[in-house]
Structures are given as C-alpha cells and as structure tokens.
Structure 1
C-alpha cells in the first residue's frame, strides 16, 4: 500500500511519537509511507531524519493544495489529529482511496459542535480510538469505532544523557518523583502542585520534576508554585528531548490529568519499570487496572499525596506494581501488533471500495 500519514500538530507529544512509530513499523512491513506535517516542527524533522518523505506546509492553503493535487496517488490517507480529519472530510470527493482517522482525545463533544463533528466522522471510511474512553463519544454518536491502542518501543539507554541531567538538577541523594506533561489545563498541574506541597509536609527527601512544554496553565502554575513555597522541591524542567532516558532516574511517576484518552507517558513508565500514581481520568483506569498502579480521584490533591508517599515508602508494593505493568505493556502495546492492526483495517477499507 501507499500510505500518507497526516499530523499537523506543533511540538512533540504522545500523538507525534505514535505517528512516527506507526510509520516506522508500516515501512518495516514493506509499505510505502509518507508524512504530511507542519513545516519545521519536531515530527517533520524527525521523520525526515529517519528517511521518510515529508511534505511540509505552514498552513491550510498548502495542505489543501497538496491533497487536491496528490491525494489520489495514495491508497490510504490517515489523519492522526482532529484538524487533519476536518480537511480530509471536506476534500473527500476529490481524494479517492480510503480515509482513516485516529481519535487520541477523550474530550466530550459539545452540543454546539455535535452535528458538525458527526458529519466529519461519518465522512471517513474508518474511525479508530486509542482507548475505550476515546471511543465513547463517536460510539455515542453512532459512529462505528475500532479500538487500536497506542504502542511503545524501548529505546537504548543513553546513560551519559541521564547523568548530565541528574547533575544539572542536583538529583544525587534525592528520591525522584516526576511527571511528563505540558503545562496545560487538561493536565491539571494545579492539583499536582498542591499534592507535592502536602507531601513536603510529610518528608523532605525528594525532588519533583515537571517535564513538559509550556502551555495555557504556565503562568498560574508558576504563581501557585511560589504561593505554596515549594522552592527546589518542585522543579519545572521544561521540554526535554529523549525524555525516555530520564525515566531511569525516577522512583515514582505521577499524572494528574483531568482529560486523558490513554496516557502514553504512563506507557513509558510501565516500560521502564517506574511505579505510577495517576488520576482516574479518561483511559487511565484502563491502563492502571489489575494492580498496575495507584488511581486517585481527579482533582484530589490529598489522595495524590498519600499515594505518592505510600509508593516511596513501600518497596514491595513498588515491585508488585512494576512487575504487573511491565508484563502488560509488552503484551498489549507492542508496535508490530499496532501497525498490523492498522494495516488490516486499511485493507478492509480498500476492499470495500
């Protein structure tokens, strides 16, 4: 098959990692895969470095023009983001082939947008969700939805990188808790900050690292950090490339999201044997089921603090959690299996044409 993956997001987050991993595994199975992406963003640059053909554009005019001129040359056009499926739906009469969309969010569809959202979701030939939480809204709107969970691939450990980071942030001799999440409202850094403030009242042998890009909650987060007097116990470390190396430094991974379709950063924690504390938002209960982590109610900073403290103190609990989580992620989130499921779906779409 000749496949075009479309992802127009800025930055480098879970969806971008999944797009590139999907492309890599599909190419390995003998298919011709190209990428349409935003010009000069991380996904475009990394895909090009990996030897993929990348079609880069700065805005909607360039994307539309390319799709109108070249869309029919691809058997499958796969929108990995919501803005891409909008353009595919609008241009469908001129594109030919099969259209596929992967929903990576669990946000509810507002009443005001419901009819338009239903229209564009019905325009694609196959809609995929990465979790039951992400599938809930399209299924409520009576859109047939396949479930293909995200995958994770271990990367070789760059010990020198991890050591440089540990020196830069003075982690030696400290228990390390961390999150990997942009400073956005749906990730709820405010609850996380308050939870760490509670933990600080119980112990002072730790540092909490907030790894992630800036977002719409940055200024309020910085102000709350100052108000709570967290000082060096809570460090905003910003976006870090090759963040996978840094999981080896962590004693506990924490995610406080209010909305989370799946949580690819949790999969990283599973893969690198870091015990997880998370809110019970979206798809996170699916991931942490059967003793694979500790769940707390959304927005409950007291429960989050208790869970973090418990994992820091209970070695046997940490071992049990990481053993279950490691076995699960290898079994259920394998990259080859993910790509094979997509390829089988693509073929079903083409067989119906």
Structure 2
C-alpha cells in the first residue's frame, strides 16, 4: 500500500510520537509511507531524518493544494490531527482516497463542521473506549479501538547518572511525570498534590519533564507554595523514556486524556503509576495495574503517591501486572498490524462495491441506499 500520514502539529507530543512509530511499523511491514506535515515541524524533521519522504506545507492552502494534486497517488490517507481531518474530508471529492482518522482525545465534540467531517470520514479509529464514545456521540456508529503502542523502554545508565548528579537527586525518592505544561494535563493541580505530599513526608523530589504554555504560571505556583527544594523543572528531554529507571513513582495529573502513552512507558520500564482516572487512563490502570484518583483531586493523588513510595513490595505485584498487560496489548507490531488489517478490509470493501459503467441501453438499476460506517 501507498500510505500518506497527515500530522500538522508543530511540536512533539504523544500524538506525534505515535504518528512516527506508526510510520516505522508500516514501513517495517513492507508498505510505502509518506508524511504530510507543517513546514519546519519537529514531526517533519524526525521523519526526514528516519528516511521518510516528507511533504511540508506552511498552511491550509498548501495542504489543500497538495491533496487535490497528489492525493490520488495514495491508497490510504491516515489522518492524525483534527485540522488535517478537516482538509482531507473537504477535498475527498477530488482526491478520492479513503480517509482514516486516529482519534486520540476524549473531549466532547461540538459544532456542525465537526459533525460533518466525522460523518464523512471513511473510518474513525479510537485509541480508547473513552475516545470512541466521544465520536459515537455525534452519530458515528462504528468506531473500532486500536490502542496506542510504544517501543519497549531501554534505560540509559549514563544519562540517568548525569541527570541525577545534575539535579541533586541522590538519597531521595524520585517522583516524576513527562507531560506538557498545558491545561489538559492540569499541572497546577499537580503542584498542589506535591505540596500535599510534602506535608506528609520530606524524603522525595518531584521532577517534571516537559514544557508548555503554562510554564510561568506553574513556576509561580511552585514558588508561592515554597516547593523549590521538592519540585524540579527538567524541561524537554529527547527520548525521556530512557530516564524512567530513575523513577520510584510515575505520575499523571490529567483532567483530559485520550489514553496516556507515557503510562505505557512506565509499564514497560516497570515503574508504579499514580494517576487520575481521566479519559482512557482508567482503562490502562484497571485491574490493579496502578492507583487512580478523581481528576482535580490533589489530596487523593498525593495519598496514592505516598502509598506507592511506602509499599514497594506491594507495588511490585502491580508493576508485574502492568508489564504483562503492556506486552500483550501495546506492542508496536500489534498496533501496526491492526491498522493494516482495517485498511485492507476498507480497500477490499471499496473494490467489491465499485460500480461498473452501465450501457445507455440498459435499464436503470434501482438506487442503492448507502449505509453509514
């Protein structure tokens, strides 16, 4: 198959990592994969460095022009972001390629254009039941779930030692997260949770990996609560999963989350997880694979972190269940082959339904009623 991946994000977050990993697996399975991305994006740069053909556009006009001119050369348009979905659907009548969208967020869908584009997408695939339910709410009946995947974590001892020395982590238990400083991740609640944890104990340091729009606001909250000795900003770290061996507990504070691929890294690295139950997180952490608390509840999150720090032997069973679950359900080859199977079924269905030209002398056939996928 000739597959075009479409991602218009400028930075590098979970959705971009999943796009890149999907491209790698599709290529591994023998398919031709190109990327349509924003000019100058991290996504485009990484894909090009990995040997993929990358088509870059500065804005919507460039994307629309590319899809109109070149969309027909692809068997499948695999869309990874909302903007790209809009443009792929609006040009369908010209490029003719099937549009498949990976829905990675679970927030409520609103607006007439949103409903239109989802109902005119050939196939919407969700990464969790929470994401699938948000799509079904706008009238899309069939939404298969294919969970995100990650590569198994391989820790880097030299990097971990250097970071521990640089941040002064020696002799303290390390609690950490890897997330953007953005509203959906609720970093201000996370600061409050660390403040609550500090009232209970003084043997830990919290390390936040990531950047974002709320950076100044979060730093101000840390200062106001006098947490400078317990809350460390480590910024963006490339291949941050290689540092997970430093962590005693991994934390997610999200108020909205499609699934939470960083939790998968924690599962693979065998780090216990304390998280909110937002969106797909409760699915990942079900069956005692981690401790969950309600979104926005700083005190409950702090309590769960403390429990995991105090009971490492008890947490070991949780970690083992999580690692086994990861191996069974979230390997990259499993995810990639599930997508390719759906693509095959969609393309084969299109071929079977292809209408042959009718002789002008033949009697007109009764009109067919299309069913919504």
1:40-189 mapped onto 2 (5 Å cutoff): 40-110=40-110, 113=111, 115-143=112-140, 144-189=142-187
Residue of structure 1 equivalent to 2:238? 241
Distance across 1 between alignment mates of 2:70 and 2:243: 41
Residue of structure 2 equivalent to 1:202? 200
Distance across 2 between alignment mates of 1:218 and 1:117: 31
**Residues 252 and 277 of structure 1 are in contact (CA less than 8 Å); yes or no, is this contact kept in structure 2?**
yes
1:279-318 mapped onto 2 (5 Å cutoff): 279-318=276-315
Distance across 2 between alignment mates of 1:222 and 1:125: 44
Equivalences, count: 349
Residue of structure 2 equivalent to 1:264? 261
Please list every run of at least 4 consecutive aligned residues from structure 1 whose deviation after the TM superposition is greater than 6 angstroms.
none
Q: Displacement, 1:206?
A: 0.9
Distance across 1 between alignment mates of 2:148 and 2:131: 12
Structure 2: gaps of 5 or more residues = 351-373
- 1:63-88 per-residue CA deviation (whole Å, 9 max, x = no partner) reads 11111111000000110111110100
Q: Displacement, 1:352?
A: 2.5
Q: How much is the aligned-residue C-alpha RMSD, in angstroms? A: 1.1
Residue of structure 1 equivalent to 2:353? none
Residue of structure 2 equivalent to 1:331? 328
Distance across 2 between alignment mates of 1:156 and 1:51: 23
Distance across 2 between alignment mates of 1:42 and 1:164: 26
Distance across 1 between alignment mates of 2:277 and 2:30: 39
**Residues 105 and 261 of structure 1 are in contact (CA less than 8 Å); yes or no, is this contact kept in structure 2?**
yes
- Verify: 1:19 aligned to 2:16, yes or no: no
Distance across 2 between alignment mates of 1:53 and 1:298: 41
**Residues 187 and 259 of structure 1 are in contact (CA less than 8 Å); yes or no, is this contact kept in structure 2?**
yes
**Residues 151 and 338 of structure 1 are in contact (CA less than 8 Å); yes or no, is this contact kept in structure 2?**
yes
Q: Displacement, 1:218?
A: 2.3
* Greater Rg over alpha carbons, structure: 2
Tell me the TM-score normalised to structure 2 length: 0.91
Which of 272, 275, 295 is the matching residue for 1:275? 272
**Residues 273 and 326 of structure 1 are in contact (CA less than 8 Å); yes or no, is this contact kept in structure 2?**
yes
Distance across 1 between alignment mates of 2:158 and 2:220: 34
Structure 1: gaps of 5 or more residues = none
- SS of 2:37's equivalent? strand
Q: Displacement, 1:181?
A: 0.9
Q: Displacement, 1:220?
A: 2.1
Which of 189, 194, 199 is the matching residue for 1:191? 189
Q: Displacement, 1:155?
A: 4.5
- SS of 1:124's equivalent? coil
Distance across 2 between alignment mates of 1:249 and 1:95: 49
Distance across 1 between alignment mates of 2:54 and 2:171: 45
Q: Displacement, 1:226?
A: 1.1
**Residues 270 and 319 of structure 2 are in contact (CA less than 8 Å); yes or no, is this contact kept in structure 1?**
yes
